[in-house]
Structure 1
Amino acid sequence: MSKKTPHHDHTHQSHDAIVKRLKRAEGHLRSIVTMIEDGRACVDIAQQLHAVEKAVYQAKRTLIQDHIDHCLEDAVGALANGEGASLEEFKQITKYL
Structure 2
Amino acid sequence: MTDTIDLLEAVGKDASLRHAPAEEMARRLEQAQGSAVLVAAAASGDRSVLAAEFGAQHNLTPQITQMPAHEEEPAQEEPLEAPIPAEKS
TM-score, scaled relative to structure 1: 0.27
The structure with more helix, counted as a fraction of residues: 1
**Greater RCO, 1 or 2 (C-alpha within 8 Å, sep 6+):** 1
Larger radius of gyration: 2
TM-score (norm 2): 0.29
